[in-house]
Amino acid sequence: MTSLLRFLSLPAHVRLLSLNCSLFIASMLPRLAQWRCAFRPRLRPARSLYAYSGFRGFACLAMVVALVFNNPVEMVWFDDALPAGMVTASHGGASWDWGGWSPHPHSGNVSHQSSISSGLHGHYFESSPVKFPVRFGGKLYTYVYIDPENIPEELMLQWWEPTQAWAHGAYWGANRIDWGADGTQSRRYMGPMPAAEGWVRLETPASAVGLEGKDVAGMAFTLYGGRVNWDYSGVEGTKVWNELVCEPDCTLRECCHYVQREEYENYVMADDSIPAGATPGARGGDSWYWTGWRDGLDPGTGLDYGQTLSPGQSLRSPNGQFVLTHQTDGNVALSYGGYAHWTTNTHGQATTVLVMQYDGNLALYNGDTPIWASNTAGQGFSQLAVQDDGNVVIYKKMPNGPPTWATNTASSAKSWKVGVAHVDTDYHYTSADFLNEGADRIQYDIRSHVIKLWMGPGYRTQYPFNSNWPTVSTLTELAQTPYYQNVLSRAHFKTIVLVVDEFNVGWNSWQDGDCSAADCNAVRSEQYDLARYLLQTYANTGKTFILSNWESDNALNDLGRRIATPAMRNAFIGWMNCRQAGINQARAEVGMNGVVVAGAMEVNAIYDPLKPWVGERAVNSIVPYTHMDLYSYSSWEVYGDTSLFTANLNTLAAKAPDSALYGSKNIYIGELGYAEAWQGTTVQRDVIQAQTQTALDWGVQWLIYWQLFDKPTPPPNSSNDCYCLIRYDGSHPLVYYYLKDLMVGSP
């Protein structure tokens, strides 16, 4: 009834036009649906509609636009930063302070914040190279968040334009700022002080401050007392213009007439930083200062100022590999692979909260008593970030804010990701058993926490020197031998990749093309026994054991001596899944208490035009049908091509099913190498460096260099092919020194 009364109160010509428009819109609905799809988000009027519908179509166009195009076009003016070329300044102790108040900015990543002051203070910019038109009937706006503990007496907004400079202002609250003449366009009262209850939109009609038809090129944000955050400032209005419209196929002037057009405009002046070309300035000892999520820091990967971490809570790096945990034992620890490689050393103390304080200090408390701190008080609003490189850093909360503190674990983190393989050579240097001689060199010389070894029926030939091997018949018995126990129990090694071949059936379970139920049970049983032994024996050590096969493509095709049949491939799928099933069973029964045992499948021919004998790649024909925890890439086929390396990793990740343990981040490099003899030691080092960085940047879990020693035996004092880190004569290629440098900082 109310709507009907409003309609009847309209002038007769308006009511008639409305009825005509209703009929017109109904007749044009099919076309409007097409327009809405074709012309999002900006209206581009169709001449055919005007010609078809005549004057009625023109008169109704505004209604059609209002009904159909309800999402106006926006052009950036001022949000999170100033336009390029702005001249900025401040006064009275305020400054351009782009802050991440709590709650977070109204729009974008940061907002600008006034300082706390008892008198007049503020900041401004002017002389923007880009001018922003203010339409007749338009509005100027900004969003403000008032500090409830520091409420100002007055807020004032001013706008600068070339003809009258700053003679355009509006204020809220008390009339304490005496700029301009009260009651005029230079100082227009807009209402009482807004409530300190979150973000509030302040609007000023352009007519009230004399800006209709002007081009704004500056803005000032001023307070009397208190503190606020400002965000998302701009101007909105309706652009009106006349368009000459002619009837089709008519060349007479009488066939043409002007039609008034309208288009909503919203100019938002900036976003997230001071643009290039803007000149910052400040008065009263202040300076530009921005706060907000630094560079888009995601929640859960760090602490904003004022945020806390309670016992049992964790932060995780964006790649998911590094975890900072406030442990229930009082320690705050940074861990990778389940093992801590930085702590606050507060184990055994009662701690209640870790807090990123407003003064820039990261502090660990027991109630009100500080237990540990980063000693960075006085740095101001800051953020803590757990980074993908393994470093935990406090940054000043501003765009590209400088670091003020770090765990300095970025370098040593690589020693937890990059490892070395050790197996099968014809030379050695010490009297230690060969398995542990290699482990010694990787631990004490290269200092990597990751090692790759082989376990299976060929153990005597794989680790031959200074070894009196007992006869064993299962993987678990082999793991219990003194030689393996010595390596597996070393606290230094936190990730141990084991290439395991079952003693009972092994490859026979698939090479005949028939992975029978009996074969599967035998494979599953041996994997189960080994996994159970590792889970029980090395509980609470922080170790990760990876039980993998060797290069699936080479195994299936016997290094080019055959083409695997479909039956063999199907049986291979069964073999992989039976291995994983044994590991899963052990984990379900024993649990993973401070130790991880994971199953893996390795591929080695994702793309290699030099090996047509490979046939159908395992990445396509086998990987998608398996259910492994991890997938390994033996990457010899890339030959130093980092683009191909990345493409192959992407292919493997796309084909590999996600796992419960690692999700979609379940890829590692099982072998990476490049022969010294191919192009010399310098090129070898450079290739390995580039490939290592490519893999780490991509986000692999681990990377294994092939290998420590070499085979076959070269002539004395010769570098031969040398994929090795230690040559026959005991010397080293340059890649050895690169890997040592990579581990700098590793304990």
Whether residue 635 sits in one domain with residue 506: yes
In a shared domain, residues 222 and 349: no
Residues 6+ apart with CB under 8 A from 592: 535
Would you say residue 109 lies in a domain?
yes
Specify whether 351 is located in the same domain as 443.
no
d(CA 704, CA 698): 15
Residue 735 forms part of a structural domain: no
Q: Which residues of the chain have pLDDT under 70?
A: 1-104, 109, 240-241, 244, 249-254, 257, 262, 264, 268-299, 337-339, 398-400, 411-412, 608-615, 712-721, 744-747
- Does the reported pTM lie above 0.95? no
Distance CA 675, CA 710 (A): 11
Structure-token pair, residue 139: 């509005």
| CATH number, domain containing residue 158 | 2.60.120.260
Could you report how far apart the first and last alpha carbons of the chain are, in Å?
81
**Strand ranges of the sheet holding 117-126, from the earlier edge strand across to the other edge:** 87-91, 117-126, 218-226, 154-160, 169-173, 188-191
In a domain? residue 718: no
- Residue ranges of E strands in 76-227: 87-91, 97-99, 110-113, 117-126, 132-133, 139-146, 154-160, 169-173, 188-191, 199-205, 215-216, 218-226
- Expressed as residue numbers, the domain containing 701 is 420-711
Number of domains in the chain: 4
3-state secondary structure 516-549: CHHHHHHHHHHHHHHHHHHHHHCCCCCEEEEEEC
Mark whether 153 and 232 lie in a shared domain: yes
Q: Looking at the domain assignment, is residue 529 inside a domain?
A: yes
Cβ neighbours of residue 234 under 8 Å, at least 6 residues apart?
Answer: 77, 78, 79, 132, 140, 141, 142, 266, 267, 268, 269
Q: What is the pLDDT of residue 39?
A: 28
pLDDT at 373: 96
CATH of the domain at 339: 2.90.10.10
pLDDT digits (tens, 9 = 90+) for 61-102: 333 333 333 333 344 455 555 555 555 555 555 555 554 334
Q: Which residues contact 577 (CB under 8 A, 6 or more apart)?
A: 626, 627
Beta carbons of 111 and 98 less than 8 angstroms apart: yes
Report d(CA 199, CA 154) in Å as an integer. Answer: 17
Q: Are residues 471 and 529 in the same domain?
A: yes
Whether residue 257 is found in the same domain as residue 288: yes
- Count other C-beta atoms under 10 Å from residue 422's C-beta: 26
Shared domain for 397 and 439, answered yes or no, is: no
Token pair for residue 280?
A: 């910052």
Q: Is residue 358 part of a domain?
A: yes
173 and 241 share a domain?
Answer: yes
Coil vs helix vs strand at 688: helix
Token pair, residue 602, equals 């390795």
Residues 395 and 274 in one domain: no
CA distance 443 to 466: 19
Q: Answer whether 426's CB lies under 8 Å from 392's CB.
A: no
Q: Is residue 55 part of a domain?
A: no
Contacts of 250 (CB under 8 A, 6+ apart): 256
**pLDDT computed for residue 37 by the predictor:** 31
